[in-house]
């Protein structure tokens, strides 16, 4: 449950990061800083770059594919959000985390009946609390109107993912706002409009690649369904954002 190296092998699902040193993080298209003791939710399928002092360390708690946020389409909203480790809610998260670690150490590899259920339930609670903590940070930057605008934008993006010509200008035109206004809104949730569209395309691609129904579907067809008319460009984007090729991602997803 701990990480002492900036190199993390890509995996599926999400994780909770608890820093024990000040770190600069590059993750999910975002660049942010964590102070000693801060928390962040990360997407394990995306590359994570950490820059800290000599011998820096951080705890890592794997959350798996548990839902992050109220809706599955919103899960990236809380990824890469620095969370104050000194807040009351963060302290509750840390206490539960330590309790989970103590439970694992006490087992010493001898799992008793019901231990797995207790651990799974603790992780479920931690996931929910971490998402609530991230939401407090994200939502404070937005008025209810702004949040509704971003949600509408996400719905429109999802509805046009297969259109390779759909981009920032097309989204702004559909919403009857300026591209600059959209940019300022997405900046408040630590991303850009174009990256939000790319993330949605790649999220769909990941879902299609590991779906058994699409096991024999050519990767070029998956790329086209996600709005990429150039397979090589799709592969470059996928590798840059996810940390592996679409082919490898499909193979590892089917093996898991």
Neighbour tally for 242: CB within 10 Å = 20
Let me know whether 93 and 16 are in one domain. Answer: yes
**C-alpha angle with apex 61: 45 to 46, nearest 5 degrees?**
15
Residue 254 confidence (pLDDT) above 70: no
231 in the same domain as 114: no
Clarify whether residues 108 and 172 are in a common domain: no
3-state secondary structure (DSSP) of residue 183: helix
What CA dihedral angle connects 253, 41, 60 and 105, to 10 degrees?
-100
CATH number at residue 104: 2.60.120.280
User: 202 and 85 in one domain?
Assistant: no
pLDDT at 51 > cutoff 90: no
CA distance to 13, 144, 245, per residue, from 141 (Å): 26, 10, 35
* 16 and 118 housed in the same domain: yes
Listing DSSP states for 227-243 in one string gives: T-S-HHHHHHHHHHHHS
If asked whether residues 197 and 77 sit together in one domain, one would say no
Per-residue confidence at 132, pLDDT binned at 50, 70, 90? Answer: confident
Task: Give me the count of residues in the chain.
Answer: 256
Query: How many separate domains does the chain show?
Result: 2
> Which residues are CB-neighbours of 55 under 8 A, at least 6 positions away?
none
Could you tell me the pLDDT band of residue 146, with boundaries at 50, 70 and 90? Answer: confident
- Domain range for 157: 144-255
107 and 167 assigned to the same domain: no
The dihedrals phi and psi of 156, each to the nearest 5 degrees, come to -65, -40
Mean pLDDT taken over the chain: 83
Residue 12 · residue 253 · CB < 8 Å: yes
Q: Are 69 and 192 in the same domain?
A: no
Name all contacts of 174-180 with Cβ < 8 Å and 24+ positions apart: 175/149, 177/149
* Cα separation of the two ends of the chain: 20
Domain match, 135 and 148 both = no
Last-in-domain residue among 139, 155, 186: 139
The Cα-based distances of 85 to 22, 32, 126, 139, 204 in angstroms read: 12, 15, 14, 17, 32
Domain CATH code at residue 218: 1.10.10.60
Q: Which are the contacts of 61, defined by CB distance < 8 A and separation ≥ 6?
A: 1, 15, 16, 18, 97, 100, 123, 126
- Average pLDDT rounded to a whole number, residues 20-36: 86
Q: Are residues 19 and 115 in the same domain?
A: yes
From the list 109, 176, 120, the residue with the least C-alpha distance to 149 is: 176
Task: Indicate if 86 and 50 belong to the same structural domain.
Answer: yes
Residue at which a domain ends, from 139, 169, 199: 139
Given 139, 160, 192, the domain boundary residue is 139
pLDDT at 144 (0 to 100)? 72
Look up residue 43 and give its DSSP letter.
E
Do residue 126 and residue 201 come from a single domain?
Answer: no
pLDDT in tens, 78-106: 888 889 999 999 999 999 999 888 776 65
Instruction: For residues 253 and 215, give the distance between their C-alpha atoms in angstroms, rounded to a whole number.
Output: 11
In this predicted structure, the answer to whether residue 217 has a pLDDT above a threshold of 70 is yes
């Amino acid at each position: 449950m701990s990480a002492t190296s900036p190199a993390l092998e890509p995996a599926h699902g999400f994780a909770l990061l608890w820093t024990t040193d000040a770190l600069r993080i590059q993750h999910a298209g975002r660049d942010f800083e964590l102070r000693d003791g801060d928390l962040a939710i990360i997407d394990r399928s995306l590359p994570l770059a950490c820059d800290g002092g000599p011998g820096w360390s951080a705890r890592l708690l794997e959350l798996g594919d548990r839902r992050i946020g109220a809706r599955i389409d919103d899960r990236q909203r809380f990824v890469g959000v620095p969370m104050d480790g000194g807040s009351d809610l963060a302290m509750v998260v840390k206490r539960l985390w330590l309790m989970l670690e103590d439970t694992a150490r006490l087992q010493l590899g001898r799992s008793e009946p019901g231990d797995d259920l207790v651990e799974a339930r603790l992780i479920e609670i931690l996931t929910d609390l971490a998402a609530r903590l991230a939401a407090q940070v994200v939502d404070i930057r937005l008025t209810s109107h702004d949040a509704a605008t971003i949600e509408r934008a996400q719905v429109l993006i999802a509805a046009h993912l297969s259109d390779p010509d759909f981009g920032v200008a097309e989204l702004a035109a559909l919403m009857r706002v300026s591209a600059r206004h959209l940019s300022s809104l997405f900046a408040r949730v630590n991303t850009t409009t174009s990256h939000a569209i790319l993330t949605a395309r790649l999220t769909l691609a990941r879902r299609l690649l590991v779906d058994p129904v699409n096991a024999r579907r050519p990767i070029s067809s998956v790329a086209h369904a996600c709005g990429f008319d150039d397979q090589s460009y799709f592969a470059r984007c996928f590798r840059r954002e996810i940390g592996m090729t679409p082919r490898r991602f499909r193979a590892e997803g089917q093996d898991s």
